[in-house]
Chains A and B, each alone.
Chain A
Amino acid sequence: MASRTREQSIPLRTLCIGVVAVWIIMAAFPFLWTAWGSFKVEPDFMSRINWINALTGPRTIEQTGSAFSNSAYHGAWVDQGFWQAALNTAIVTVSVVVLSLTIATLGGYALARSGFKYAYWLLIIALVFRAMPHITLVSGYLLPFFELNIWGYLPTSIIVLVAINQPFTLWMLHAFFLTIPKDLDESAMVDGCTRFQAFRLAVMPVMWPGIVTTGLFSFLLAYNDFTVTTLLLSQDNQTMVPKIASFLGSTQTEGNVMFAVASVVMAIIPLFILILIFQRQIVSGLTAGAVKG
């Protein structure tokens, strides 16, 4: 019977395929184009003569002898020290994910299990905090951080990102813990466990799917952040995103744009792999709040 509701007339079906095709091209083409172009030299990628040069690369052949050149990658990675930025990003994202999951798991569990009124209000306050534009918070940090002499270091940014992440992570884990039956930890407590033992022995073994999904979104928030890392990190400690922005900020010397193009492609690769592996979890995470909220 389900198939009958899906039946469609030919024109409508074509229209639908058309819509999907247009959307997929819009979504994927810019990334494919940039990835292809990153192996060309700037006069080809940004050709004054003809945009087709970015596909065929006549100047690239002229300058390097081959239609594909990795000079942009070499320049960005080695000469411009992008590897250092990539390393910093790895440190920041891993620390943010681990820290924010640890404290939000405890908090989300408590919020899901307590029937108190103030737990409800905490969630509403968290929602308001979630809506705060990050830059308004950053403008509050700068002066105190300068005074305390903690501006510019990775740990400062990490703890700030953990805090900014917290409202969202709390909401998501709270929603997830609501799906774990109360009986599980309550029967453990009847058997003589303390609250924390019940959490550790009865709840922790079954909570990993929710942790993985929430962790993905924590990762994305830390990895994609521009505001905090640009304003709170010194030049030497920059992560990838502010580093890419700095390639553009400096004078538009030839080749600099190509460093940015190559770095952009390198910064997208981990995200690409992430979707490849965790597509199902990302989709379920996006809908978790909606279906229950």
Chain B
Amino acid sequence: MKHSHFLAFMAPSLIVMLLFIALPIGSVAYQSLFVEHEQVLVEVENCGPFGCETEARVDNAAMAELQETKPMGRFNGIGTYLNATHLAGNEIKAIWANSSSIGDALSGISNLPFYKALIFTLAYTFIVTPLCIILGFLVAVCVNTLPNLFKGPVIFFSLLPMIVTPIIGSLVLFWMIDARGVIGANLQLLFNDPQLSLKASPTLTWITLFVYGVWHSIPFSFVVFYAGLQTVPQDTLESSMVDGATRWQRIRYVVIPYLMPLAVFIALMQLMDNFRVFEPIVGFSAQANATSLSYQIYNDLRGGDSPLYGSAATTSMLTIFGVIILLTPVLIRTWHDFTRKT
């Protein structure tokens, strides 16, 4: 294929990706250096029956004009990165100085908004991903032993949690775990505690979100493993049986090594998807007890009276940085493969 042909075929795709993925990342980087205008205050003299007093008021006309001429806000350099809602250098120093033990300091730091979101995001990513790989494998092995007649319907229902819109799936579960819903009410009966609510305590909220995450992602790993199981070489299985391998040994030494590349693939996909966890927090209204990096950005854009573009952009930059760290092993591996090939 000639270079010109390649370019002609790729052009439309390249243009949309450049305009709507690469450029916005640049725009986010630029925006993160700016911060909202300070409010323009005017002194107004208020005279009443008891004398005059001056009062500071926001000058709306001047604010509108400033917004018109400089929509980005004012330049703030890396100030936003360092402030209390992001990396919070000064706050960490203060917490470190004032706390008696390391545990004390860590719990103080984990209450800072950015670190709180980061910790939840990482916990979600690294708890849900392995769990869904293990459970998906278990379901796949079990479904594989069923008679063929049942396999189709089982796969059909298994796909539902993954295919359904994340926010809709989390709402469906949210209504069921409500104290007035079927699961919530039965949990109260089971633990004999009429006050029990999965929404009240941070720990229970986290567990609920993790359970949702696993529920949502099992189908993906199940289907991939199930398809992989169909291609496990029968000869190897047979010969291992001739050698006297037990059922467990066959799975451990033949099936699992054979499916390992699939597990790596699932892990990569799940890490990428779980790191952006966002919809379940909205669906479960869990923001009081659990926020993720994506939720923080959403909150900056939607939460207050006026959107905090600078703050959202800064969290976005830090998130993108996190994604790149997460992908580094993959990128290094591809680089090695690539240099070996050429």
A: residues with CB less than 8 A from B are: 1-2, 4-6, 8, 12-13, 15-17, 19-20, 23-24, 26-28, 30-31, 33-34, 37, 45-48, 50-51, 54, 102-104, 106-107, 109-111, 113-117, 119-120, 122, 124, 126-144, 146-147, 159-160, 162-164, 166-167, 170, 195-196, 199, 220, 223-224, 226-227, 231, 241, 244-245, 248, 257, 260-261, 264, 267-268, 271-272, 274-276, 279, 282-284, 286-287, 289-291, 293
Contact = CB atoms under 8 A, between A and B. Distances in A.
Contact of B282 (A37, A113, A245): A245
B87 interface: no
Contacts of A51: 180-182, 185-186
Contacts of A5: 234, 237-238, 241, 250
Contacts, number: 297
A224 B176 contact: no
Contact of A26 (B168, B178, B215, B275): B215
Given A114-B6, A135-B276, 9 more contacts: A4-B241, A54-B181, A114-B1, A132-B25, A136-B294, A137-B24, A147-B71, A167-B21, A195-B2
Interface string B1-30: 111011011101110110111111111100
Given A117-B342, A220-B163, A282-B163, A103 B16 contact: yes
A260 B72 CA distance: 37
Given A275-B160, A286-B223, A226 B165 contact: yes
Nearest to B72: A143
29 contacts: A23-B139, A24-B154, A27-B157, A34-B172, A51-B180, A106-B12, A107-B10, A110-B5, A111-B10, A124-B331, A131-B326, A133-B275, A133-B319, A133-B323, A134-B276, A135-B297, A138-B301, A140-B23, A166-B13, A166-B17, A223-B165, A224-B165, A241-B167, A268-B168, A275-B156, A279-B156, A279-B159, A286-B227, A290-B228
A177 to B, nearest CB: 11
Given A34-B172, A46-B175, A282-B159, A139 B309 contact: yes
Nearest to B188: A51
Contact of A226 (B159, B166, B319, B334): B166
Contact of A31 (B2, B160, B278, B326): B160
A206 B163 CA distance: 27
Given A109-B9, A135-B298, A260-B171, A30 B163 contact: no
Interface stretch (B39-47, B54-62, B141-149): B141-149
A144 B27 contact: yes
A104 B13 contact: yes
B234 A2 contact: yes
A143 B223 contact: no
Contacts of B12: 102-103, 106-107
A275 B159 contact: yes
B168 A231 contact: no
A287 B13 contact: no
Given A5-B237, A271-B164, A136 B21 contact: no
Contact of A132 (B9, B14, B323, B338): B323
A34 B175 contact: yes
Nearest to A285: B223
Nearest to A20: B142
Nearest to B215: A26
A128 B231 CA distance: 30
A164 B20 contact: yes
Nearest to B26: A140
B197 interface: no
A74 to B, nearest CB: 20
B166 A136 contact: no
B16 A110 contact: no
A143 B27 CA distance: 9
B71 to A, nearest CB: 6
Contacts of B338: 120
Interface string B25-38: 11110010000000
A289 to B, nearest CB: 7
A59 to B, nearest CB: 12
Contacts of B331: 124, 128
